[in-house]
Copies of this chain bind each other. A is one copy, B any other.
């Protein structure tokens, strides 16, 4: 098999960890596989570099930040190749540029434009283990860029797509994707497989195994991804197409997002297009609006409820000031949480939502907002009930079985 393995910051956080990674890579290669390894910076390094830069400037130039930040992955990349060579493997370290990762020129959050397969496949065909510095690329003008948060995952998935790898393993310090957060429900079970779409819904709700950008790219390129731990030998969770999921449970997982705030606008002036104006103003203020519920009261005036990230509360208030009295009464509530159930099986099952609402009602948990998609149902409830709701639903949908 042709395998891409990506090791995150904690997986290469010390020299001992790098050695352990080298041994794992060696074993994978010894099993008859061709291996491409993508590495992050040693944990803490990127933050150290950012702090150094910010000691000089609150808003350092992004071009120079990219030159600065890209150095961390180069260090890990070279060290791992050195360790692999010492263990008797033929290994070669490639920077993002040398691996052919072409990006646009939006520094600190560049998008990958193209990856030719040749630079990596030439080395693979020569029998070498290829170690690539993640998170970084180069523009057509030779400028160094970085890909933003989760950038090394993106490198791995993009490389896997470019060279048509059989598998892309994402190694972190957790075993895979769980039915819910094990710190909330200790009967949470690791999922063997999960579909791209389910993963997208879970990731956007705080399951931090893999960022949405990488999942989206994996889906687009048809890359089979496995997330697993570099600290043990446990099987991980396969993220693949819906067809590739052997089991299609009604509900695959339950997510809790306590970093939410609810904004209620009660009695909005009856003016055409005012909703568009409101969300336009919020968008301009870089506020990410999540759930939106609109109702029309008996007086013909509309009420608008929506949720935002709790940290964006001040920006939201500021953005809404310009509307004055037109928004009616404004209420802001950051004592809420969002609980979501996710599962591709919902598409073909009825009664999933009503079971959720009934179960929560039985526990006297009041539902403030509801939002549904094809494979997800989210409710906003009082934050204090968040964990109880997760445990209740985990049991109701038999995720501990």
Write the residues of chain A forming the contact surface with B, with a CB cutoff of 8 angstroms.
Answer: 15, 18-19, 22, 49, 52-53, 55-57, 60-61, 63-65, 67-68, 70-72, 74-75, 77-79, 81-83, 85-86, 92-93, 95, 97-98, 142-144
Contact = CB atoms under 8 A, between A and B. Distances in A.
Contacts of A97: 142
A82 B15 CA distance: 30
A61 B86 CA distance: 9
Contact of A85 (B61, B67, B82, B93): B61
Contacts of A71: 71-72, 74-75, 78
Given A71-B75, A78-B68, A83 B98 contact: no
Given A95-B144, A97-B142, A144-B95, A53 B82 contact: yes
Contacts of A49: 75
A276 B49 CA distance: 55
11 contacts: A18-B56, A19-B56, A52-B79, A57-B83, A57-B85, A60-B82, A63-B93, A65-B78, A67-B95, A68-B82, A71-B75
A55 B18 CA distance: 11
A61 B60 CA distance: 35
Given A15-B56, A75-B71, A82 B95 contact: no
Given A15-B52, A52-B79, A97-B142, A86 B57 contact: yes
Nearest to A71: B71
A65 B82 contact: yes
Nearest to A98: B142
Given A68-B78, A71-B71, A71-B78, 20 more contacts: A15-B52, A15-B55, A18-B56, A22-B56, A52-B75, A53-B78, A53-B79, A56-B79, A57-B85, A63-B92, A64-B82, A64-B85, A64-B92, A64-B93, A67-B77, A67-B78, A67-B93, A67-B95, A97-B142, A98-B143
A227 B72 CA distance: 32
